[in-house]
Amino acid sequence: MSIKGELEKIVGKDNVSDAIADLNLYSQDLSLLPPGMANAVVWPANTEEVAQVVAYCNENTIPVVPVSSRVHTQGSTIPKQGGVVIDLKRMNNILEIDLSNRLVRFQAGVTWAQLTAALKEKGMRAIMPLLPRPNRSVLTDTLEREVTTNMVYDYGEPTQSLEIVWANGTIFRSGSASVNGFPESISRGANPSGPGLDFYRFMQGAQGTMGIVTWMSMKIESIPKIDKIFLAPVKDIDYAQEFLYRILPRRIGQECVLLNNVDLAGIMANKAEEFDELCAKLPPWTLALTISGVQRRPEEKIAYEEKFLKEVLHNEFNALPLSDKLPGFPGLGRKLLPMLRAPWPEDVKYWKNSLRGGCQDIFFIARPNKVSEYIEIMDMIAAKNGYPISDIGKYIQPIEHNRACQIEFSLFYSPDDEQEKAMVAKINREAAVALMNAGGFFSRPYGEIAPIVYDRAANYTMALRRVKNVFDPNNIMNPGNVCF
């Protein structure tokens, strides 16, 4: 019997396809990487069906590529060696919102738009990356360690317990979700660490290279009772970093981002025609910092943080005009603050794709005091290859009270211009190598960057391959990917 016929026995005729039109939908994504065609796609309804599909594929050495989101940008779900795509979009239930433990448990197909709306009804929120795509899987972004805009240490590790399907079809639960009687047990899956190995850390990196995560528990937080957003035009990025070094380790602030004029104009423009005008008028960089009062004595917390900010600005950083308004842009703070707490609107074209149609991001972890050095490297390589420096999007995201930061460069291009795509791909490769040589840490290497990173960490890569061989001896789980 054909692969399709065997899969129909598990998920039903309506939930498996080998039609070319369906397979084409999974053959490529928004990245610059080449396409690949699967043999079939299945849409399971629950963990048991996922386990049966994986077990069948393992017995017959058929590659498996799991898909959770509706949109992908890095090539990690392209079927490089054919096989079966397991699309988890039907598994889109929010299983519980545990207010006492401040946890939400949800399936792999739950999107940012769906989760944000459900939590808001309960007075809660998720700590999220900058403007995630509304139809991206929350579980996927969390597993892949997308850096959040809230740099408070407490939110740096949102993952709690997981449910995993291993390559042989075995269903496994991690942490305190592994106890008998879960989810009715007293533990409620609130602890990610089990009696031995921390499997929640083991599964971080990518969906489906070791096993398929079908649901996860994640930390959530109360919606603040009071918020204030402060903005500052920035010309000297090093001066701004010195200011952040001064305030963020003192636990001042919640969301904190540094955006250059290109990125901020792309985010704030209501329509494409406004972008050029905004880009020309905005300062080279804009610092946005929120302070919040949550449940306990919010007024006092806001007053304390605001007082500290004023003292630091007056005594040490009087050249940084941080205030509740950005000069020349009335109302920008009121518009930006809710955007930092929500995914991109579902009915609006995603901002990175609205500028030119396509976008290649280069992102890595770095020391904040070296940001200007990395910007110089990026500008030099872009200019050498004919890409205008003034068109590069730049975004600095402090991590854990500015212990480190993520630097993200965005190269916008037209997907219909093959020459432009080739130029951007070349810049991506050259810049990645140069930035690594300067100390940039590519903790999430995708596509063409992955082999470069893994070649430089040979012992790490060998150990990772040995571990994968233990959990996936037939190498069916997203073959061709070590991790990302």
State the pLDDT at residue 156.
78
At residue 295 the predicted structure's pLDDT band, cuts being 50, 70 and 90, is confident
State residue 481's pLDDT score.
Answer: 82
The tally of CA atoms less than 13 A away on the side-chain side of residue 298 is 12
pLDDT at position 98 over 90: yes
* Ramachandran bin of 202, using left for φ above 0, alpha for ψ from -120 to 50, beta for the remaining angles: alpha
Q: What is the mean pLDDT of residues 147-167?
A: 89
Res. 282: pLDDT tops 90: yes
Mean of pLDDT values over 413-441: 97
Give the per-residue pLDDT at 312.
96
What's the angle, vertex CA 18, arms to CA 15 and CA 21, rounded to 5? 100
Beta strands 256-260 and 171-173 are unpaired
The band of 198, judged by pLDDT with boundaries at 50, 70 and 90, is: confident
Mean pLDDT of 283-300: 93
Residue type, 125: R
Is residue 366 within 8 A of residue 440, CB to CB? The reply is: yes
Q: What is the mean pLDDT of residues 148-165?
A: 88
CATH of the domain spanning 226-437: 3.40.462.10
Q: How far apart are CA 159 and CA 146, in angstroms?
A: 12
Q: How far apart are CA 28 and CA 17, in angstroms?
A: 17
Say if residue 320's pLDDT is above 80.
yes
Asked whether 380 and 435 are in contact (CB, 8 A), the reply is no
- What pLDDT is recorded for position 372? 97
E strands present in 239-304: 256-260, 285-293
Angle, helices 272-281/261-268, rounded to nearest 10 degrees: 140
Residue 25 has pLDDT above 80, yes or no: yes
| Mean pLDDT score of the chain | 93
pLDDT classification of 484: cutoffs 50, 70, 90: low
> Given a cut of 80, is residue 90 above it in pLDDT?
yes
The yes-or-no verdict on residue 126 having pLDDT over 90 is yes
* Percent of the chain whose pLDDT exceeds 70: 99
Say whether pLDDT at 293 is over 80. Answer: yes
Checking if the pLDDT of 138 tops 80, the result is: yes
Give the burial class of 215: count Cβ atoms within 10 A of its Cβ; 0-12 exposed, 13-18 middle, 19 or more buried.
buried
- Using CA atoms, how far apart are residues 295 and 23, in angstroms rounded to an integer? 49
- Given this model, what pLDDT does residue 1 score? 61
Query: pTM for this one?
Result: 0.95
Q: What is the pLDDT of residue 219?
A: 94
- In Å, what is the CA distance from 150 to each residue of 194, 291, 316? 27, 11, 24
The amino acid at 216: M
* Domain boundary assignment for the chain: 3-87, 94-222, 226-437
How far is residue 138's CA from residue 95's CA, in Å, rounded to a whole number?
A: 14
Residue 197: pLDDT over 80: no
d(CA 161, CA 327): 46
**Residue 202 or 446, more confident:** 446
pLDDT above 80 (res 203):
no
User: Could you report how far apart the first and last alpha carbons of the chain are, in Å?
Assistant: 33
> Residue 152 pLDDT > 90, yes or no?
no
Q: How far is CA 348 from CA 130, 131, 446, in A?
A: 16, 12, 27
pLDDT band at 52 (very low <50, low <70, confident <90, very high): very high
CATH class of segment(s) 3-87 = alpha beta
Q: Which residues contact 27 (CB under 8 A, 6 or more apart)?
A: 35, 36, 37, 38, 78, 79
Summarize pLDDT for 322-376 with one digit per residue, the tens: 999 999 999 999 999 999 999 999 999 999 999 999 999 999 999 999 999 999 9
Is pLDDT of 200 > 80? no
Across the range 59-74, mean pLDDT stands at 92
CATH number for the domain formed by residue range(s) 94-222: 3.30.465.10
Instruction: Tell me which of 244 and 204 has the higher pLDDT.
Output: 244
